[in-house]
Amino acid sequence: MRLADLRPTKVVAVHLNYRSRAEERGRIPAEPSYFLKPPSSVTLGDGQVARPEGCEYLNSEAEIAIVIGTRVRRASLEEAAAAIGWVTAANDFGVYDLRWADRGSNVLSKGQDGFTPLGPRLVPAAELDLGALTLRARVNGEVVQEARTDSLLFGFDRLVADLSRFMTLEPGDVILTGTPANSRPVVPGDVVEVELEGVGTLRSEIVAGPPLAEGLGAMPKVTPAARAAATGANAPRPVTLSEEAAAALRAVSTATLTVQLRRRGIRNTFLAGLRPARPDLRLLGYAHTLRYVALREDVAAADTAPLNAQKATIEALSPEDVLVIEPRGEPGAGTIGDILAMRALRRGAAGIVTDGGVRDSPSFADLDLPTYYQAPHAAVLGLLHYPLESNVPVTCAGVLVMPGDVIVGDAEGVVVVPAALAEEVARDALEQERREAWALERVTAGESIRGVYPIAPERMSEYESWSEKHR
C-alpha cells in the first residue's frame, strides 16, 4: 500500500505506552488503554497544522503508527503480529485548552481536522525490526523527544491482539502506539519533525488557525491542570531523598558538596553571585523551575489565561519544592515579591532561588522561607520579563538546573546536586566533614596539617576512634 492510498476506517491511540512518558505522568499502567481519533483528523505527508485562535497549548506528540494489513478479530499474539502490514511516523497533536470539556474522550482536544499527520511513507513491517526502532522529534531543529521501541510497555502485537478482542480491525486502520516523555507546546511559526528509523521524517509547520465559533459548545480555557499537563509541570520527582540523606544534606556545607560533585566530574554546580535573604535559614528541597523570557508587549497582551505562568507555577508547587527561576540573569526588575512568596510558603515550598531581582526585599527577612537572589529591585515583573514555562531545564546563575534536582543552600550560597547522585553525595559529604572536623580539632590544638589534612594512613585508626565517639 502507498501512503496516498491509505483510508483508515478508524484511528486508535494508546494513552501511555513509553516508560518515560508513564514515569513523567507518575503512573505505570498495568494494561493498555485507548481513545479514538476520527479518520478526518488524518493528513498524509508533510503539511500545516493549525492552532485555533484562542488556544495556547497545542502539543506535539511524536508517535509510531502501525497500519493493519489484514482483517483481524480475536487474534492471538502471533496472529496480531502477522496482521501488522505497514509502519510510518505520526504526530498526535492536541490542544490542552479543550481537555477540560473532553472528560477523557479527547474528541475536542485531539479530534480536529489535520491533527493526525502520517508519513512520509508506509514501510512494510516485515522490513523493520519493530522492537528496536528509534523515534525522535525535533522542534525548529532541536531534539525534544527520543526513545526506542524496546522501552515500550506494550508491544505492537499486544496492542493489536488486545484491540481485536473488542473490535474488528480492518486493512488500513491506524494504531498510534504512544509518545515518549517531553511532549511540549508548539506555536505558530514552529516546525516539528518526527523522524522514525527506517521510515524517514514527517514535517509539520504550525500555523495560526481561525477561532472556534462561539455559542455552540465548549471554548478554549486554560486551567491550571491543563497548563501543568501541557508543560510537564506535574512530572514526578526523579528521586525522593531518604531520611538519612536529607539529614546529611541539611548538616553539610555547600562548600563540601561542591568538592564531592567535583570528585564525580561535575564542576559547575554552585550558583555564584546570589545572596540569602535569611542567612540563618538552611535550604533543602527539589527544583521546580520557572523560565522567564524578555518582555514583548504583544505576546504578553495575548496571554489571556486566568493565571500567567508565574502564578500558575506558584499554585502548582508541592511541599519541599524549591522554586528556581531563570530570568536571564537580569536584576533590573523583580522576579517575585512578598505576596507570591507567602503563597509559595503556604503551599509548602522549601525555598526560592532566582538570579534576578526580588521585590519587597525587606519583607523576605521576616519570611520563614529561604530565598536567594541577585539584587533587590522595586520594579514589577512586567518591566523586563515575561513568564513563559515551568518545570523545564533552566540556567540559573550560570548553572543548569533540571526539574527534580536537589537544591541545597546555606549562608554561603546555593548548590545544585543532580538527583541521581544525591544519596551517595550526601553520604560522602558527611564523612568528609567528619574528617575535616577532626583535622580542625587537631590543628586548633597546635598540630601541623601534615598527616592531618588529609589524614595519613598511620593516623586513620586514631580518626576512626574519634569518629565513633562523635557520631
Q: Tens digit of pLDDT for each residue in 448-458?
A: 999 998 899 99
- Residue 162 is part of a domain; what is its CATH number? 3.90.850.10
Residue 362 covered by a domain: yes
Single out the residue in 388, 417, 446 at which a domain terminates.
417
Strand spans (E) along 140-199: 142-148, 174-176, 185-186, 191-196
Integer angstrom CA distances of residue 355 from 182, 316, 378, 409: 26, 21, 15, 14
Residue 376 covered by a domain: yes
Work out the average pLDDT over 89-107: 91
Residue 246 covered by a domain: no
118: domain range?
Answer: 3-231
What pLDDT, on the 0 to 100 scale, is given for residue 390?
85
- pLDDT over 90 at 20, yes or no: no
Same domain, 62 and 158: yes
Same domain, 274 and 191: no
What pLDDT, on the 0 to 100 scale, is given for residue 163?
97
Work out the average pLDDT over 258-285: 96
Same domain, 275 and 383: yes
Quickly count: other Cβ atoms within 10 Å of residue 275's Cβ.
15
Please enumerate in sequence order all residues whose Cβ is within 8 A of that of 30, keeping only pairs 6 or more positions apart, or say none. Answer: none
Give the distance between the most distant pair of CA atoms in the chain: 88
Same domain, 309 and 369: yes
**DSSP 3-state of 264:** coil
Same domain, 131 and 18: yes
Same domain, 178 and 310: no
pLDDT band at residue 306 using 50, 70 and 90 as cut-offs = low
Same domain, 133 and 281: no
Residue 435 covered by a domain: no
Residue 431 covered by a domain: no
Residue 373 covered by a domain: yes
pLDDT band at residue 388 using 50, 70 and 90 as cut-offs = confident
Residue 342 covered by a domain: yes
Work out the average pLDDT over 28-34: 93
Which has the minimum average pLDDT: 100-104, 133-137, 317-321, 401-405?
A: 100-104
Domain count, the chain: 2
Residue 428 covered by a domain: no
Same domain, 219 and 271: no
Contact 85, 127 (CB under 8 A): no
| Mean of pLDDT over the chain | 92
- Residue 362 is part of a domain; what is its CATH number? 3.50.30.40
Same domain, 77 and 157: yes
Q: What is the DSSP letter of 434?
A: H
Half-sphere exposure of 70 (CA within 13 A, CB side): 9
**DSSP 3-state of 355:** coil
Same domain, 173 and 37: yes
Residue 186's closest CA among 94, 116, 293?
Answer: 94
What pLDDT, on the 0 to 100 scale, is given for residue 25?
78
Contact 221, 100 (CB under 8 A): yes
Same domain, 48 and 180: yes
What pLDDT, on the 0 to 100 scale, is given for residue 234?
65
What pLDDT, on the 0 to 100 scale, is given for residue 120?
97
Single out the residue in 372, 392, 417 at which a domain terminates.
417
- Report if pTM > 0.85: no
Share of the chain above pLDDT 90, in %: 76
Same domain, 185 and 301: no
Proportion of the chain in helix, strand, coil states, percent, rounded to 5: 30, 30, 40
Single out the residue in 209, 231, 253 at which a domain terminates.
231
Work out the average pLDDT over 405-416: 97
Cα separation, 57 vs 191, whole angstroms: 15
